[in-house]
């Protein structure tokens, strides 16, 4: 049976594909877990045995909006 948590505030990403090796992800979350999102991105790269540089920029003072620029090596 499905479990519904109506009070859950899930993060979301805006994704822009620059080309086949260059992506920009904008992380949005009121919980300000950009560091956790960064760790998940690193784990995905490791799991799929991919190499990439990730450049991180805080887009606001609260940390609820973070830009990840991912460039494959």
pLDDT at position 10 = 83
Average pLDDT over every residue of 27-40: 94
User: Residue 9: pLDDT band by 50, 70, 90 thresholds?
Assistant: confident
Instruction: Tell me what percent of the residues of the chain surpass a pLDDT of 70.
Output: 92
**CB-based burial label for 32 (10 Å; 0-12, 13-18, 19+):** middle
Backbone torsion region of residue 41, taken as left when φ is above 0, otherwise alpha when ψ lies between -120 and 50, otherwise beta: alpha
Q: Which residue has tokens 């003072």?
A: 61
């Amino acid at each position: 049976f499905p479990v519904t948590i109506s009070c859950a505030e899930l993060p979301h990403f805006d994704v822009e594909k620059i080309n086949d090796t260059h992506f920009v992800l904008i992380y949005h979350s009121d919980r300000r877990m950009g560091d956790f999102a960064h760790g998940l991105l690193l784990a995905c790269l490791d799991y799929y045995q991919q190499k990439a540089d990730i450049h991180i920029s805080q887009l606001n003072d609260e940390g609820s909006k973070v830009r990840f620029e991912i460039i494959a090596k």
